[in-house]
Amino acid sequence: MNIPRKIRKAVFPVAGLGTRFLPATKSIPKEMLPIVDKPLIQYAVEEALEAGIETLIFISSTRKHTIYDHFSSDFELETRLSHSGKPDLLDRITDIVPDRVDRVYVTQTEALGLGHAILCAESVIGDEPFAILLADDMVKNKGAGALSQMVGLYEETGSSVIGVEEVPPERTKSYGIVGVDDTEAGHQAIHTMVEKPLPEDAPSNLGIIGRYVLDPSVFRHLHSVGKGSGGEIQLTDGIAAMLETRPVLALALQGERYDCGSRHGFIEATIKYAMEHDDMRDDVLDHMFAVLKSYGRI
């Protein structure tokens, strides 16, 4: 068994084009699209902070300066809100990231896939385990957040962990799917990973979602696997190669997962999170009732 080390650093790959949300994402990074009143990336950062992360590493492109701006102080705006007597609004834009937490911005100069984005963080990560959060995968939970659940399993076992969810068999072709064996300790050890298999070829119905806690040896494998599907360096290829020497566990995450990289998932998450706002819940419910009635659904 590996001796677990503290997970101190998290990588946020945010250099993607977000083509499914064009034309909005022509000028706004997908990760900055708001769910009610906070951008996707802020929800992911808050999840990381809850899990004890001390260094946030954003792998970005040259066009995504708005993410840097969001997590930086805005003296002019803060001064105006302070002088106008709006402390509640001021509180919402200050201390989004505590001063004790480091923020590192790394530019991914070429769009060569998720694996390449992770390689861009290698010099910052060094030789220590780390987390990866894809901001457009949201996992809503009333208890411990998704990453906290995974860090807990890593600290228990010293093994890399991939977040998964059960998907309908007919939808396996939309996911990376893992094959697992049950361990004596009651965990699920991954023995194979298949990218978007047909239902008849899928080793299980456990689909990978955008949460990882990985051993740093994955960098060595990412360097060696080269370009895969689509001419890109695939993170799953690097992890699959790592399986030969390092254990990787699958963890079915507790909570509701929303694929906010898709338009319908984004709308579903917006409605769900709106229900938690006392000042708008009734109005939203009334509107949904009227819409359903107008379409003959009730």
What is the per-residue pLDDT for 17? 79
Q: Considering the chain, what percentage of its residues have pLDDT values greater than 70?
A: 97
Please write the tens of the pLDDT for every residue from 243-261. Answer: 989 999 999 999 999 999 9
Lowest-confidence pick of 75-89, 137-151, 180-194? 75-89
What is the per-residue pLDDT for 75? 79
Please write the tens of the pLDDT for every residue from 13-35. Answer: 998 878 899 998 888 889 999 99
Residue extents of the structural domains in the chain? 9-261, 262-298
Residue 64: which of 39, 85, 88 has the closest Cα?
39
What is the per-residue pLDDT for 70? 87
Residue 57's pLDDT band, with cuts at 50, 70 and 90, is very high
Residue 279 has pLDDT above 60, yes or no: yes
What is the per-residue pLDDT for 79? 82
Give the span between the Cα atoms of 272 and 240, in whole angstroms. Answer: 35
Residue 96's pLDDT band, with cuts at 50, 70 and 90, is confident
Please write the tens of the pLDDT for every residue from 35-47. Answer: 999 999 999 999 9
What is the per-residue pLDDT for 124? 96
Residue 10's pLDDT band, with cuts at 50, 70 and 90, is very high
Residue 229 has pLDDT above 70, yes or no: no
Residue 135 has pLDDT above 90, yes or no: yes
Q: Among positive and negative, which fits the CA dihedral 119, 123, 128, 134?
A: negative
Instruction: Output the CATH code of domain 9-261.
Output: 3.90.550.10
Neighbours of 34 (CB within 10 A): 14
Spatial neighbors of 134 by CB under 8 A, at least 6 apart, are 12, 13, 44, 209, 210, 211
**Which phi and psi angles does 59 have, rounded to 5°?**
-95, 105
What is the per-residue pLDDT for 275? 94
Best mean pLDDT range from 9-18, 64-73, 75-84: 9-18
Residue 173's pLDDT band, with cuts at 50, 70 and 90, is confident
Rounded mean pLDDT of 120-148? 94
